[in-house]
Amino acid sequence: MKRAWLAVRAVVLWLLSGIHFFTVTPLLVLLGVFIDPRRNDWPQRFLFRNVLRIAGVKFEVHRAPGFDPKRTCLFVSNHINIFDAFVVYSAIPQFLRGLELESHFRIPAYGWMMRRFGNIPVYKHPTAAQTKELYRRTRAALDDGISLVVFPEGGRTLDGHMRPFRDGAFRMAIQFGYPIVPMAITGSYEFNRKGSWMIHPGKIVVYLGEPIETRGLTKNDVPALRDRVHKVVSDKVEAAIAARQTKTSDPYPARA
C-alpha cells in the first residue's frame, strides 16, 4: 500500500513540477530579452527553488566560513540526477550559469530554454575547434563576473558514490586563474536516482566549501588540484552515506 501511494505521489509531483517549469521558464526567457538577466535573477532563482518545493524536497545549505558569495568562482559539484540544476541554483547565492553536455541542448523545448538561459555546451568528444570555443566562452563568462558550475564526473552516479573527476574544469581554472569552490550535494540520490522515475520524500543538504586558489598553479598541478577537490566533495558524500548506514544495513535499499 505504501509503495502504491509513493508511486501515485511521484506521478503527481512530476506533472506539477513539469507544468511549473515549462510554463514559467519561457516567460523568464522572454523577460531576459528585454531585461538584463542579472537584474532579473530573483525570479529565476524563485522558479528553480519552487520546482524543488513542488517535488517535495526539504532543502538545507551549509557554507564554509571562508565562502564569499560575491566572488566569481568555478563551482565543482558531484552529479546525481536531473534535479541537480535546480539544487545548484537554489544553493549558490549569486548570479550563475553552468557547463552542460551538448546533447542536452538537443532535447526539444528544454534545450532551447537552456541555450537562451546562457548555459555553455560541452561536447563528449570535442574537436579542437569545439574545445577552443568552450574555453573562450568559459573565460568570457568568468571575466564578466558570471560564476559557473561544473560536474566533472562526466555523468550521474549509479550507486550514490562519486566517480573520478575529469581534468577539463581544473585545467580551465588554472589557466584563467579563478578559484574553485567544492560543492557537495547529499540526500539527492535517495530522493531520485538515474534510471528511476520515482520521487521519494527526503531532504537535500548542500555544502559549499572553502575556495581553493588556482593563481600561480601550472598545468603540472592539475592532478593534485583535481584530487584535492574530489576529496573535499567525496568526504561529505561518504559521510552522508555513513550516517544513513547507521539507520539501515543497506544505504540505498531497493524501492519500487
Cα separation, 229 vs 227, in Å, equals 5
Query: Which residue would you say has higher pLDDT here, 175 or 49?
Result: 175
Phi, psi of 240 (to 5 degrees): -65, -40
Q: Is the pLDDT confidence value at 32 over 90? A: no
> Taking CA 72 as the corner, what is the angle to CA 140 and CA 83, rounded to the nearest 5 degrees?
90
Statement: the pTM of the whole predicted model exceeds 0.85: yes
Q: Is the pLDDT confidence value at 23 over 90? A: no
Cα separation, 105 vs 112, in Å, equals 6
What's residue 256's pLDDT? Answer: 33
87-102: pLDDT as tens digits: 999 999 999 999 988 8
First to last CA, the chain: 12
Query: Which residue would you say has higher pLDDT here, 189 or 46?
Result: 189
Q: How many helices (H) and strands (E) does the chain have?
A: 8, 7
155-196: pLDDT as tens digits: 899 999 999 999 999 999 999 999 999 999 999 999 999 888
Closest CA to 145 of 37, 18, 42: 37
Identify each DSSP E strand in the chain by its residue range.
57-63, 74-77, 96-101, 120-122, 147-150, 180-186, 202-208
